[in-house]
């Protein structure tokens, strides 16, 4: 009623006003006066009314657009895109279908870290109503609503690396687990859609979802994930007429699957009891996408200071936002506390030590010159994609150095003070920081100082340094992962599962017909080494952070915001992704006794040419490569029965073979 | 005053006017009006004319906008408040869910659980389709929000149909069941199927690794799910996997509705030798299965399937038709809903699996049926109860309440009768046409495009069919063979509806008998337990009174339920008995009450059977679908049933949970069924 009355009244007055207007001007003044008297009353309404009116307009327009959008024929967006950017090439699935390729081998996907969804099965009271809702992946709505509760549920137990009591967070099962990470951000969806075009469906596609926070063996202990994978491969092989499976792991899934291949053939209590020829019988090819076989330097920065390039540059842009104590945010500390309970992050610490990653004065990528490369390869690559280093001094072997001068100094000039025996000193923050406890608070100033005074850490040192700064975490992790190189692979100690995910400490299974592909993007600067500094305030903070002020003057220099970059796919350096297939496993080596064929397939990064292409069909970025048409085509061909030779063998853009030659590893 | 306001808006929106006043933004209205007054004097009349018109239209639009704005804001505000208020405030505090109570009792997950969903409740998603389905790749066509129907109904129907000849995918279309627990936890948003049970199981420690949803494409015949999707192999592999990974604990299988007969089929399949079966060997079931807890089982079929096959109707449809005759049949919009429905559903082989099995011995002949007698009174009473809520209270006190005496005993055996009189007459008075005579009638199609097989039968023959007056479960199969020869030919290669005389006959090794409990032996698994859990106390369709439909047009369905027929147990052309609204008690309970009880020829190893009935109690206002519902689907949220399932999953045996629990007359009814055991 009130609404109607309120609206009616003004309308009448409008009428009056209009009628009177043409007649006398003198009356106007009197009227205007009365009006201004009433004006105050209107003010009260008018503001609200105006707002309502405005919102109403916006809503109506929005609905109209929404309606038009829904009523629009489905082919319209594509029509527009084609009109603007020319004809799209056929998606690889359609192309292959036209060539007559059809579903043949069953396919299994192994997602990487972070991309798999996790859902809640049991939680504390603050998570009421979220049963079987996604905590990780999807919209991440809960992070905003109840951040500390969320962090609590995502963390694992600090001692055991398993569920904390009363909390069960489990991986989502099925293809939905990792097809889209967040709405609109595909991971496997494009590949799945293209495989479906040539006839794949649920029965011959399987997503081996696992809890990526756990160490690999623990996924079996807690969820029997490895058994599940074994059973599903066996089932798919049996129901598809004995055709062997094609495995497509991505990112950390690559080493997870390495672990699986050892596990499945190992005898029962520790392994799957599949017998020595299980892999030969069930696996046709392993097509590793962006595989961090030898670890990623990013993991070091992540564990050491919960930073990565992205975080560091945020910090450089707006110092203080992340560190501000004002709102009790302490984001990074929370992130560090949470991620340090995840054993899996330790699986990605660089493996192989100085032999692979270089020492103080040497590294396999040294002398790598993007300019030379560009000349050699003409100009297929885009400007923005080629900010690699010039052949200046980039001592990539020094994965962490304190201060830029140290990073560039010749190795003879560096004075290092041993940190290993250092006294850690008193706990500086015994009470104040309990909420965001990280192991740094057990260290005291002495320990922190000792770490900084060692100046330079190579891959070998890093493991020891992490053991120093985070003893508990590394103790947990060292029961599940190792980072060395085996001297004698026949040593019975290598039967333990902690060696299974390190390609330098295991033999490949005895399966001469199997093929191993290493497919990764190149042409994007990738983190390789860091320049660190001490944080000014050491109380409740993480005492180290990347020194973002360290950068090359040259815009194309390799040191940017305290990070040295090399060629890679933005996350995994080409060396880590390619070395095993380029050298370590090539031919019959001691790591590959049965001579499994290996192929290196690199994909040059080409950023999307316009916004309409989304994340691009020629991307080489670590995750976006899953939408790379060329890669998808390769996968479909292999799944439809092609061998590596038929694909064209190696496809190399970087100097991966040269770099591999430089690595002096007994084979 | 508001005119001022509107002036201002005009100034903003109307560029012509803005040019007049660009100098002063009308902060002070008075001043603005004066400027307006002064400036406009020359072209006063003209402008004012214009203003008048403008104002009229703008007034309306403005009010609309204002109104919508108000609504939106209020809505947002409420939404915001709703999200802000703590979880515990929303809704009332319900009773403690059974899972929590049992957890406090100390129960925890022991046996892995396999859930086998029934018909219709499993989601189906698109893997390959025609151009009209573009953009729906891996989106749900069935289940979820069903937006597909609204956006493109014909396209949707085309994709859900199967091939008429093979009963498999039509070329170029691949619609596949959704895998995993999400397939059937909620049928549509907010309409739970398995979700409540899953949540309660999770409370006592179940999770993905020891709970498996055996989804299958419910449109296909059971053996075809194996041929096309290898669903049975998948189920076998998963049971074996869970058995091994959970420390050699046998699984508890919880099938629902049609899943029950699907799992019966699986039991036979898994032990049969390879090309046709799963090759698990004769001890497989004994080794892997602890118990089968059939919820709302349709062991012997359901009469609802009869009307669905015959005229694509159910009680609901007949009711709508009675309320608003012509609505569903209207051809004005070219809707022909029922005909489309029939065309699609007849391609689904699985529907045939639900036709009543066992023929006259189980379902009754022209003059007698197991449910004869007092059944009707109870039935009538409860029918009134569930339909008029205000009578709820009478339920408890009037167990001896007013009884309606009928002149005639209801003849439930006549599953279809034409006309009310035909349904009540004594069999000797019925006009009969020999089945063979029916078969001889040769059809000649008169319609161009044939939608349903009815299009091939001309009117005279249809009249003849109706002259036969009454059909029993057995003769109805003959009738269907006549009116839908292709459908039945296709489906009868997969399903059989008889009773075996000699179970050792080698023909019973064929898979088409596997889903019929009256033509198979249970596996040799003496320790296995078979439960049948179903709701009672809801009137359930049992037999139908039909009439010929008046319209003689092409492609129309010539028969329809005579919704004007009333009286006694007869409501809207349908005779009701006790049951869970879909499955009559006799179908759900007979096998466990008699057919399999003790060592019989159907159960040679003597697996223990238990009957657990749950009396329906309609939910209160805020209870949603109720904690004590006995309804076919809502029973999945029944607290007592959930408790039973949880106890068995946690290791209890049938004796531990109290053996039989019976409210209906199932034992008496079973006694009346006279079959060799």
The pLDDT > 70 percentage for chain B reads: 74
Q: How far is A501 from chain B (nearest CA, A)?
A: 23
Q: Any idea how long chain B is?
A: 677
> Is residue A199 included in any domain, yes or no?
yes
Examine the domain organization and report whether A460 and A545 are in the same domain: yes
Distance of CA B640 to the CA centre of its chain: 22
Res. A74: pLDDT tops 90 = no
Residue among A52, A170, A228 minimizing CB distance to B73: A52
Residues of B in contact with A32 (CB under 8 A): 30, 33-34
Examine the domain organization and report whether A606 and A655 are in the same domain: yes
CB B301 within 8 A of CB B355: yes
* Residue B541, strand partner residues: B576
Query: In terms of CA atoms, which chain B residue is nearest residue A10?
Result: B2
Residues of A in contact with B66 (CB under 8 A): 7, 49, 52-53, 56
Q: Spot the catalytic one: B257, B307, B515, B543.
A: B257
Res. A622: pLDDT tops 70 = yes
3-state secondary structure of B327: coil
With cut-offs at 50, 70 and 90, classify the pLDDT of residue A308: low
Examine the domain organization and report whether A314 and A419 are in the same domain: yes
Examine the domain organization and report whether A514 and A590 are in the same domain: yes
User: Cβ A203–B229 below 8 Å, yes or no?
Assistant: yes
Q: What is the 3-state secondary structure (H, E, C) of A343-391?
A: HHHHHHCCCCHHHHHCECCECCCCCCCHHHHHHHCCCCCCHHHCCCCCC
> Is residue A379 included in any domain, yes or no?
no
> Is residue A468 included in any domain, yes or no?
yes
User: Cβ B209–A228 below 8 Å, yes or no?
Assistant: yes
- Strands A283-289 and B538-548, sheet pairing: unpaired
pLDDT of residue B409: 64
Examine the domain organization and report whether A447 and A420 are in the same domain: yes
Examine the domain organization and report whether A542 and A572 are in the same domain: no
Residue among B51, B66, B245 minimizing CB distance to A56: B66
3-state secondary structure of A287: strand
> Is residue A75 included in any domain, yes or no?
no
pLDDT of residue A539: 56
pLDDT of residue A20: 45
Residues of B in contact with A14 (CB under 8 A): 2-3, 6, 55, 59
Domain count, chain A: 2
pLDDT per residue over A129-148, tens digit each?
Answer: 788 888 888 777 777 777 78
> Is residue A463 included in any domain, yes or no?
yes
User: Cβ B2–A201 below 8 Å, yes or no?
Assistant: no
Taking only Cα atoms into account, the Rg of chain B, rounded to an integer number of angstroms, comes to 31
Task: Please give the interface size between A and B, counted as residue pairs whose CB atoms are below 8 Å apart.
Answer: 173
Active site residue B632: yes
Q: Spot the catalytic one: A155, A215, A251, A518.
A: A251
Which of B515, B652, B634, B632 is closest to B216 using CA atoms?
A: B515
pLDDT per residue over A3-48, tens digit each?
Answer: 444 444 444 444 444 444 444 455 555 455 455 544 454 455 677 7
Q: How far is B173 from chain A (nearest CA, A)?
A: 11
Q: How far is B634 from chain A (nearest CA, A)?
A: 20
Active site residue B399: no
Examine the domain organization and report whether A424 and A530 are in the same domain: yes
Query: In terms of CA atoms, which chain B residue is nearest residue A175?
Result: B179
pLDDT of residue B426: 73
DSSP structural state of residue A583: I
Examine the domain organization and report whether A532 and A616 are in the same domain: no
Residues of A in contact with B207 (CB under 8 A): 121, 168, 170
- Strands A563-568 and A597-604, sheet pairing: unpaired
Q: How far is B12 from chain A (nearest CA, A)?
A: 13
ipTM of the complex, rounded to two decimals: 0.82
Q: Which residues contact A532 (CB under 8 A, 6 or more apart)?
A: A304, A305, A400, A401, A402, A403, A452, A544, A545, A546, A547, A562
pLDDT per residue over B483-512, tens digit each?
Answer: 888 888 888 888 988 888 888 888 888 898
> Is residue A534 included in any domain, yes or no?
yes
CATH of the domain at A249: 3.40.50.1820
* Residue A134 structure tokens: 């996604």
pLDDT of residue A326: 44
> Is residue A192 included in any domain, yes or no?
yes
Neighbours of A222 (CB within 10 A): 17
User: Cβ A51–B29 below 8 Å, yes or no?
Assistant: no
DSSP structural state of residue A89: P
Active site residue A569: yes
Helices B44-84 and B2-13, interaxial angle, to 10°? 100
Residue among B4, B55, B230 minimizing CB distance to A203: B230
- Mean pLDDT over residues B530-541, rounded? 90
Enclosing domain of residue A632: 92-114+176-207+223-294+503-524+568-662
User: Cβ B202–A121 below 8 Å, yes or no?
Assistant: yes
Examine the domain organization and report whether A510 and A487 are in the same domain: no
The rounded distance, in Å, linking the Cα atoms of A572 and A249 is: 14
Place of tokens 């904690």: B627
Query: In terms of CA atoms, which chain A residue is nearest residue B44?
Result: A22
Res. B611: pLDDT tops 90 = yes
Q: Spot the catalytic one: B632, B644, B660, B665.
A: B632
CA dihedral angle for residue B197, residue B201, residue B204, residue B210, rounded to 10 degrees: 180
Residue among B4, B5, B245 minimizing CB distance to A227: B245
Residues of B in contact with A235 (CB under 8 A): 230, 233-234, 237
pLDDT per residue over A241-279, tens digit each?
Answer: 899 999 999 989 999 999 999 999 998 888 888 888 999
pLDDT of residue B329: 53
Residue among B5, B52, B137 minimizing CB distance to A46: B5
| pTM given for the model | 0.82
Examine the domain organization and report whether A518 and A531 are in the same domain: no
With cut-offs at 50, 70 and 90, classify the pLDDT of residue A87: low
> Could you give the C-alpha distances from B656 to B291, B293, B650, B661, B662, in angstroms and in order?
13, 15, 11, 12, 16
DSSP structural state of residue B532: E
Examine the domain organization and report whether A544 and A577 are in the same domain: no
Q: Spot the catalytic one: B580, B634, B644, B660.
A: B580
Domain boundary among A566, A587, A618: A566
The rounded distance, in Å, linking the Cα atoms of A128 and A316 is: 39
Q: Is the dihedral of CA B253, B259, B265, B269 positive or negative?
A: negative
The rounded distance, in Å, linking the Cα atoms of B132 and B138 is: 15
Q: Spot the catalytic one: A211, A567, A569, A634.
A: A569
> Is residue A424 included in any domain, yes or no?
yes
Examine the domain organization and report whether A467 and A604 are in the same domain: no
3-state secondary structure of B91: coil
B102 phi, psi to nearest 5 deg: -70, -30
């Amino acid at each position: 009623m009130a609404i109607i009355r309120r609206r009616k009244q003004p309308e009448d007055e409008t009428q009056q006003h209009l009628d009177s207007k043409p007649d006398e001007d003198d009356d106007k003044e009197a009227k205007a006066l009365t009006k201004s008297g009433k004006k105050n009353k209107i003010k009260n309404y008018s503001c609200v009314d105006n707002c309502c009116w405005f919102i109403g307009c916006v809503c109506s327009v929005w609905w109209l657009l929404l309606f038009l959008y829904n009523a629009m024929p489905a082919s319209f967006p594509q029509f527009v895109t084609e009109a603007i950017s020319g004809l799209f090439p056929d998606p690889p699935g359609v192309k292959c279908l036209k060539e007559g390729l059809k579903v043949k081998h069953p396919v299994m996907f192994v997602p990487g870290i972070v991309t798999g969804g996790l859902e809640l099965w049991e939680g504390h009271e603050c998570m009421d109503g979220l049963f079987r809702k996604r905590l990780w992946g999807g919209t991440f709505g809960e992070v905003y609503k109840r951040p500390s509760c969320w962090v609590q549920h995502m963390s694992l137990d600090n001692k055991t690396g398993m569920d904390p009591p009363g909390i069960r967070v489990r991986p989502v099962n099925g293809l939905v687990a990792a097809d889209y990470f967040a709405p609109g951000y595909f991971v496997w969806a494009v590949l799945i859609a293209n495989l479906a075009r040539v006839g794949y469906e649920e029965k011959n596609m399987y997503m081996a979802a696992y809890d990526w926070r756990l160490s690999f063996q623990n996924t079996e202990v807690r969820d029997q994930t490895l058994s599940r994978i074994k059973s599903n491969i066996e089932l798919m092989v049996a129901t598809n007429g004995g055709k062997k499976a094609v495995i497509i792991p991505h990112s950390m899934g690559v080493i997870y699957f390495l672990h699986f291949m050892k596990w499945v053939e190992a005898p029962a209590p520790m392994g799957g009891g599949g017998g020595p020829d299980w892999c030969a019988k069930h696996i046709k090819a392993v097509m590793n996408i962006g595989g961090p076989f030898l670890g990623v330097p990013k993991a070091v920065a992540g564990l050491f200071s919960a930073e990565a390039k992205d975080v560091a540059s945020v910090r450089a842009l707006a110092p203080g936002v992340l560190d501000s104590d004002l709102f009790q945010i302490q984001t990074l500390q929370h992130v560090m506390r949470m991620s340090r309970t995840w054993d899996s992050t330790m699986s990605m610490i660089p493996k192989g030590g100085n032999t692979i990653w270089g020492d103080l004065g040497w590294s396999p990528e040294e002398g790598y010159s993007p300019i030379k490369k560009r000349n050699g390869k003409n100009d297929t690559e885009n400007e923005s994609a080629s900010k690699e280093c010039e052949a200046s001094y980039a001592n990539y072997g020094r994965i962490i150095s304190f201060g830029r001068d140290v990073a560039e100094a010749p190795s003879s000039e560096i004075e290092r003070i041993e940190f290993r025996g250092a006294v850690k000193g008193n706990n500086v923050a015994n009470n104040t920081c309990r909420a965001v406890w990280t192991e740094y608070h057990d260290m005291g100033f002495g320990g922190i100082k000792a770490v900084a005074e060692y100046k330079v850490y190579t891959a070998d040192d890093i493991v020891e340094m992490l053991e120093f700064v985070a003893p508990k975490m590394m103790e947990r992790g060292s029961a599940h992962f190792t980072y060395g190189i085996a001297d004698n692979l026949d040593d019975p100690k290598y039967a333990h599962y902690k060696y299974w995910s390190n390609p330098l400490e295991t033999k490949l299974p005895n399966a001469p017909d199997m093929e191993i592909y290493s497919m990764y993007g190149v042409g994007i600067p990738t983190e390789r080494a860091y320049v660190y500094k001490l944080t000014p305030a050491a109380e409740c903070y993480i005492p180290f952070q990347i020194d973002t002020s360290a950068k090359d003057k040259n815009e194309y220099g390799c040191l940017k915001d305290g990070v040295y970059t090399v060629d890679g796919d933005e996350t995994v350096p080409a060396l880590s992704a390619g070395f095993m297939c380029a050298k370590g496993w090539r031919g019959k080596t001691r790591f590959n006794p049965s001579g499994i064929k290996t192929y290196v397939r690199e994909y040059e990064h080409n950023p999307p040419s316009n916004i309409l292409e989304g994340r691009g069909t020629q991307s080489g970025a670590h995750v976006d490569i899953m939408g790379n048409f060329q890669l998808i085509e390769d996968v479909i061909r292999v799944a439809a029965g092609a061998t590596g030779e038929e694909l064209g063998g190696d496809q190399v853009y970087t100097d991966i073979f040269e770099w591999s030659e430089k690595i002096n590893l007994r084979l | 005053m508001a005119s001022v306001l509107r002036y201002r808006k005009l100034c903003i929106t109307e560029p012509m006017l803005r040019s007049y006043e660009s100098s002063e933004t009308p902060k002070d209205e008075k001043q603005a009006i004066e400027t307006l007054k002064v400036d406009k004097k020359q072209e006063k009349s003209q402008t004012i004319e214009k203003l008048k018109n403008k104002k009229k239209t703008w007034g309306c639009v403005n009010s609309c906008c204002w109104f919508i704005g108000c609504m939106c804001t209020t809505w947002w505000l409420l939404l915001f408040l709703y999200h802000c208020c703590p979880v515990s405030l929303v809704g009332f505090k319900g009773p403690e869910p059974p899972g929590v109570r049992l957890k406090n009792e100390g129960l925890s997950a022991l046996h892995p659980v396999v859930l086998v969903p029934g018909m219709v409740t499993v989601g189906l998603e698109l893997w390959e389709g025609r151009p009209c389905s573009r953009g729906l790749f891996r989106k749900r066509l069935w289940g979820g929000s069903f937006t597909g129907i609204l956006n493109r109904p014909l396209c949707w129907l085309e994709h859900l149909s199967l091939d008429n000849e093979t009963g498999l995918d039509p070329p170029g279309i691949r619609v596949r069941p959704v895998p995993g627990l999400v397939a059937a936890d909620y049928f549509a948003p907010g309409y739970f199927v398995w979700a409540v049970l899953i949540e309660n199981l999770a409370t006592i420690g179940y999770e993905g690794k020891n709970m498996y949803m055996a989804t299958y494409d419910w449109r296909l015949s059971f053996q075809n799910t194996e041929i096309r999707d290898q669903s049975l192999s998948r189920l076998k592999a998963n049971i074996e996997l869970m058995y091994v990974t959970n420390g050699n604990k046998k699984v508890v299988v919880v099938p629902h509705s049609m899943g029950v007969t699907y799992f019966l089929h699986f039991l036979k399949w898994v032990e049969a030798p390879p090309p046709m079966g799963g090759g698990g060997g004769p001890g497989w079931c004994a080794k892997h299965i602890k118990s089968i807890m059939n919820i709302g089982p349709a062991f012997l079929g359901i009469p609802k399937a009869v009307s669905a096959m015959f005229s694509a109707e159910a009680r609901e449809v007949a009711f709508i038709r009675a309320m608003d005759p012509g609505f569903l049949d209207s051809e004005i919009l070219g809707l022909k809903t029922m005909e489309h429905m029939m065309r699609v559903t007849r391609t689904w082989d699985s529907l045939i699996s639900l036709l009543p099995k066992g023929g006259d011995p189980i379902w009754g002949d022209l003059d007698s049926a197991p449910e004869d007698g007092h059944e009707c009174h109870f039935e009538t009473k409860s029918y009134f109860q569930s339909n008029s809520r205000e009578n709820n209270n009478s339920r408890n006190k009037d167990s001896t309440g007013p009884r309606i005496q009928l002149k005639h005993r209801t003849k439930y055996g006549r599953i279809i009768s034409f006309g009310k009189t035909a349904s009540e007459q004594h069999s000797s008075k019925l006009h009969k046409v020999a089945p063979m005579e029916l078969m001889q009638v040769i059809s000649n199609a008169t319609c161009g495009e044939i939608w349903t097989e009815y299009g091939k039968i001309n009117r005279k023959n249809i009249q003849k069919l109706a002259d036969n007056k009454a059909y029993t479960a057995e003769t109805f199969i003959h009738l269907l063979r006549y009116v839908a020869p292709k459908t039945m030919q296709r489906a009868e290669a997969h399903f059989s509806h008889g009773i075996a005389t000699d179970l050792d006959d080698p023909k019973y090794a064929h898979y088409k008998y596997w889903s019929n409990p009256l033509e198979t032996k249970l596996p040799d698994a003496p320790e296995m337990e078979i439960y049948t859990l179903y709701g009672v106390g809801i009137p359930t369709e049992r037999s139908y009174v039909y009439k010929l439909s008046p319209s003689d047009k092409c492609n129309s369905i010539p028969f329809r339920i005579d919704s004007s027929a009333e009286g006694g147990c007869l409501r809207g052309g349908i005779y009701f008995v006790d049951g869970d609204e879909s499955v009559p008690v006799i179908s759900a309970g007979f096998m466990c009450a008699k057919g399999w009880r003790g060592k019989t020829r159907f159960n040679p190893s003597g697996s223990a059977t238990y009957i657990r009935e749950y009396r329906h109690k309609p939910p209160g206002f805020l209870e949603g679908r109720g904690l004590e519902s006995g309804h076919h689907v809502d029973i999945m949220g029944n607290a007592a049933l959930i408790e039973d399932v949880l106890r068995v999953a946690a290791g209890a045996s049938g004796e531990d949970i109290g053996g039989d629990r019976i409210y209906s007359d199932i034992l008496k009814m079973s006694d009346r069924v006279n079959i060799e055991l």
